[in-house]
Structure 1
Amino acid sequence: MSCGLLALLAAACGGGAPAGPPAGAGGMTGVPVDAITLETTSVEQTAEFVGTIRSRRTTVIQPQAEGFLVRILVRSGTRVTAGTPLFEIDAPAERAALAAIESTRAAREADAEFARQQADRAKALLAVGAMSQQEFEQASTALRTAEAQLRAVDEQIRQQQAQLAYFRVVAPAAGVVGDVPVRVGERVTRTTVLTTLDDNSTLELYVNVPVQQASLLRLGLPVRILSSSGEVVATESVNYVSASVDDATQTILIKTPVRSAGQFRTEQTVRAVVVFAEAPGLIVPVVAATRINGRYFVFVADTADGATVARQRAIEVGRVVGNGYVVTSGLSAGDRLIVGGIQKIGDGAPVMIMPAAEGGQ
């Protein structure tokens, strides 16, 4: 092989062009992510319970007489005023007794009228000397006796009418008629509950709080009443805390007035959030936390050797507030929390925080 051919082969193997820079040199390094700077915010310590709306003016309607129910004059949910007839109980003996007494009144009234005429006649005769004083006094006595008998009959009628009124049950106050558990034809006694009357203009919220949270209870605590969708429909304040514990449920009763009475009904169950306290804390978006084997982890942006890297941290969280977790440990104010692009990174991975996304919480 000639020396010229050897020189050509050597040139081909060694390459004639200088080496260029490494691929990607001078380009963007790190995975682009979104981050926020954590700031301390006011965090409420709350708990949600199921409460019951009750009327402060609930009247239990029971009869004052015994007998068979013959008429039910109202329906459940009807609003009535004081004196409105509600029920009627059969009273045959009382009606018969009243009719008998009333039948004697006409005779007693006639006797009294006759005695009055006789007394007037006797007075006129006595004035002209045509009747003795004794006869005049006898006529006057007869008049007084007849009038007394008439008054006695009237009093008997009033007493019998009052007795008969017990068989007609009327509303003692204004309110809304509750459930009517009785039926026409049933025998009722003085202990039978016919219905209830509730005044929905004066309502209270009853909430039973577990005894474990007794130390947090005090007058004036805010209570939020929620709709079924979780919206706040009313905010009230605790005005009563029971001094005793319910032995059966081991709970403590608290009450709040309900001023938005038009939205609620007696015995309605509602969601109630009690705000026990308010303190500074941190909240991280739900999307920034990952749950692994029952524990929560987040990524924070850290600086290592002049580069920005992602560091995975285990955190402990409390309840959910809005769209975030309340952090109880693992993070501090000022930490840069990665909230976007976490699915593309791992612990120690270089990242680049997008300028438009970085900002306060």
Structure 2
Amino acid sequence: MKHTGLQFATGVLLIATLGGCGGGGESQAQQGPPPQGVPVQVATVNSATVVDSTNYVATLISRRSVTMQPRVAGQVTNIYVRAGAAVAAGTPLVQIDAREQQANVSSFEAAQRSARAELDSAEQTLRSNQADRQSRLSNLRFQKRQFDSYTQLGTEGAVSQITVDQYRDSYETAKANVDAIDSQIKAQQAQVARARSGLKQAEASLRQQQVQAQFYAIQAPFAGAVGDIPVKVGDYVGTDTRLLTVTENRPLEVNVAIPQERAVQLRKGMSIELLDNQGKVVGNGRIFFIAPNIDTGNQAVLVKALYDNPQGQLRADQTVQSRVIWNKQPGVLVPATAISRVAGQNFVFVAQAPEAGKLVARQRPVVLGDIQGNDYQVKSGLKANERIVVSGTLKLTDGAPIVAQP
């Protein structure tokens, strides 16, 4: 929280030292009168930003946290990280012995290559049959023209019936050859379909084995911090073994329980400051969630804010002090050293000048608000630009003369 400070006014205490010469060679020093008032420090009250806030205990919650467990059984061969390490998504964490699985992958890769070769061979044979069909179809068309021509000549008596029958036989043979290659093509198409299906199955099986192989390398699912690692290299682990945890610390949810009497003041977007052990602000977030109901256990309303945690100095499940900012407005702040308390009433001493060159301290009751750092909010009894005593108040009474000191 920033606010304008108090500008200290300085007074000057003048002590005159007079020297003279006495008769008979003797010197006699004369000192002026003592200071006409109690020496104090005086400051001018300036306007400041007065913050209405309340401190509460907050709990920091991770939005994502996961316990890593293997999806396969095997022996741990390597652990790449240490507990507490910050990791990025995809960072290798733990390696489980995958030699047997790699052998399976190699076997399925060979099966996939064999299926690919079988498909290539079947497709090559099909293309050859289709080319042969084109040749036979051309011959069929030629034989059909020859047969038609000689049939006409036979009708006209230009050639014998034997010749016509020979051309009929050649045509029928060509037709049978086309029918035969069509049957071969149909059968080969079925063979290609089977080979293609076999390749798809081999590829699917290979992918399954490759995915299975990935399970042996445990990686971080998202960026976060590594928790406790209970296993060690050489341990045999199963699918129910807890390997480690990864917890996202950026951002963190700030959970605060607000007493029900202040619930009506809650608004989304209100600021929540996070404080260190010395009360210094280390970060802030804004309320994005207000519970619709009261917790019957503590009669409080849960609110949540989001803190980016850019430096990662705060961790999930950590308990910290937080400050909910209810309101900010112009006001007056005075140092705590300026406050006197008499019979349960708070006072300040206002420096006034009833005569030129003279100051007196007037005791004035004030109503205080919250403390901000080393200063108190003054709700009433004091205005900006008034001068107050900020040190030496224990020596003062109402109306006492004072002398401002540097």
Normalized against structure 2, the TM-score is what? Answer: 0.56
Contact 1:219 1:241 (8 Å CA) reproduced: yes
Partner Cα separation in structure 2 for residue 110 and residue 251 of structure 1 = 69
Q: Is 1:47 aligned with 2:98?
A: no
Q: Structure 1 pair 100/220, CA: closer, same or farther in 2 (3 Å)?
A: closer
Give the match for residue 65 of structure 1: 71
Task: Tell me which of 269, 275, 297 is aligned to 2:325.
Answer: 275
Alignment of 1:32-43 (within 5 A): 42-43=49-50
- Residue 227 (structure 1) shift: 5.1
Alignment of 1:276-355 (within 5 A): 276-279=326-329, 282-290=332-340, 296=346, 298-299=348-349, 317-327=368-378, 331-333=381-383, 337-346=388-397, 351-354=400-403
- Residue 255 (structure 1) shift: 0.6
Give the match for residue 202 of structure 2: 153
Partner Cα separation in structure 1 for residue 351 and residue 229 of structure 2 = 68
Alignment of 1:106-117 (within 5 A): none
Q: Is 1:216 aligned with 2:265?
A: yes
Give the match for residue 176 of structure 1: 224
- Residue 298 (structure 1) shift: 4.9
Task: Render the CA deviation track for 1:20-77: whole Å, top value 9, x for unaligned.
Answer: xxxxxx9987656555676775522112345456666x36364572424624344443
- Residue 164 (structure 1) shift: 3.9
Partner Cα separation in structure 2 for residue 285 and residue 66 of structure 1 = 66
Contact 1:36 1:336 (8 Å CA) reproduced: yes
Q: Structure 1 pair 210/103, CA: closer, same or farther in 2 (3 Å)?
A: same
The more displaced of 86-95 and 218-227 is 86-95
Q: Structure 1 pair 192/264, CA: closer, same or farther in 2 (3 Å)?
A: same
Contact 1:67 1:91 (8 Å CA) reproduced: no
Q: Structure 1 pair 101/35, CA: closer, same or farther in 2 (3 Å)?
A: closer
Task: Tell me which of 72, 87, 90 is aligned to 1:79.
Answer: 87
Contact 2:271 2:324 (8 Å CA) reproduced: yes
Contact 1:291 1:297 (8 Å CA) reproduced: yes
Partner Cα separation in structure 2 for residue 247 and residue 91 of structure 1 = 53
Task: Render the CA deviation track for 1:288-343: whole Å, top value 9, x for unaligned.
Answer: 33457877555567999xx99767677664432233333467x4549875444433
**Structure with greater helix percent:** 2
Task: Render the CA deviation track for 1:197-216: whole Å, top value 9, x for unaligned.
Answer: 6373xx25514142243233
Larger radius of gyration: 2
Q: Structure 1 pair 171/34, CA: closer, same or farther in 2 (3 Å)?
A: closer
Q: Aligned-pair RMSD on alpha carbons?
A: 5.0
Q: Structure 1 pair 105/79, CA: closer, same or farther in 2 (3 Å)?
A: closer
Give the match for residue 6 of structure 1: none
Contact 1:49 1:207 (8 Å CA) reproduced: no
Give the match for residue 11 of structure 1: none
- Residue 217 (structure 1) shift: 2.0
Aligned residues: 321
Partner Cα separation in structure 2 for residue 101 and residue 264 of structure 1 = 48
- Residue 263 (structure 1) shift: 6.3
Partner Cα separation in structure 2 for residue 159 and residue 341 of structure 1 = 83
- Residue 351 (structure 1) shift: 1.7
Identity %: 26
SS at match of 2:208: helix
Task: Tell me which of 223, 242, 258 is aligned to 2:291.
Answer: 242
Partner Cα separation in structure 2 for residue 34 and residue 152 of structure 1 = 92
Contact 2:253 2:306 (8 Å CA) reproduced: yes
Partner Cα separation in structure 1 for residue 370 and residue 42 of structure 2 = 22
